[in-house]
Amino acid sequence: MPVEIIPVKVPGLWPITREAGSIKVAGTPIRDLILSRIPELPGDRSLRCRGDFLPTAEFAALIANGTGNCIVRDPSDGADLMELSIAGTSGAPTIIPVDPASFRLRHPWDLLALNEQLVGALDANRIEGTVRAGATLDGFVRLGKGSVILPGVYIEGNVVIGEDCKIGPNCYIRGNTSVGDRCHIGQAVEIKNSLLGDKVSVGHLSYAGDSVICDRVNFGAGTIISNLRHDGRNHRWLENQVFVDTGRRKFGAIVGENVHTGIHTAIYPGRSLSENSMTTPGEVVSHSK
């Protein structure tokens, strides 16, 4: 293949354990977002790109149209992010530093930043599902085939909703939120600036803000994710026994795949739930688990 996306698992994305390129952001796998930014290559060229690196279209074109073999390297950790090979070209490849406008996934909150960037850029509606009378769309919405937005739903800001979803009735979705395929967001639920995977069910009377919720997660009724520290400071994230400043004043939870919460679960801000974990009814999650 002239363009190859290299599968990469990013330890810093924990508790998200899947290969980075397969993660969907704004309804599209990251590998497809990468491919959409790389121009068509002549037959004598091949290009490899890591699945955790999303170049700008301008930078991708600069590399693809280069005159010789080259490697894009991140000077912060020495990782080779892209590699262009031209048949018949000899000599050591030129090392090119990554441009600051391109996007590299290092931490789970980077997914929120990328989702905000992509969903926030929507400038038109694309409605392939059904919007019932009594629903309000106050922003640009992409609604997939087979999905239905029920009466009383209020969408404020830009939102992406996948295929075969049931939204509502009487729930509040705020931008910039992305909902995967075959999801259910129930009665009196509020979702704000979050990224939901496929087959996610958020039970009635629940709230999730500034959070990443992975595939096949089920929230029991009344599950609440807090997203704001009482002192108003940026959230910190424990990584390799060191606290990292996320740069985010509002940051909810990172919920791994196949998590089930009991009714009335309360989750402190900046916490994570590892894949396949569960909470009991009324549990307070004050530490990542």
E-assigned strand segments in 187-246: 190-192, 195-196, 201-202, 207-209, 212-213, 218-219, 224-225, 236-239, 242-245
Tell me how far apart the alpha carbons of residues 153 and 132 are, in angstroms, rounded to a whole number: 9
Q: What angle do CA 103, 74, 211 make, to 5 degrees?
A: 35
Distance CA 228, CA 240 (A): 23
| Catalytically annotated residue among 204, 235, 264, 287 | 204
Please enumerate in sequence order all residues whose Cβ is within 8 A of that of 45, keeping only pairs 6 or more positions apart, or say none. 2, 64, 84, 85, 86, 87
Classified as helix, coil or strand, 204 is coil
Cβ atoms 224, 242 nearer than 8 A: no
91 with 70: CB under 8 angstroms?
Answer: no
Strands 207-209 and 242-245: unpaired
184 is catalytic: no
Taking the alpha carbons of 210, 29, 148, 142 in that order, is the dihedral positive or negative? positive
* Residue 71 burial class via C-beta count within 10 angstroms: exposed 0-12, middle 13-18, buried 19 and up: middle
- Hey, which residues are catalytic here? 204
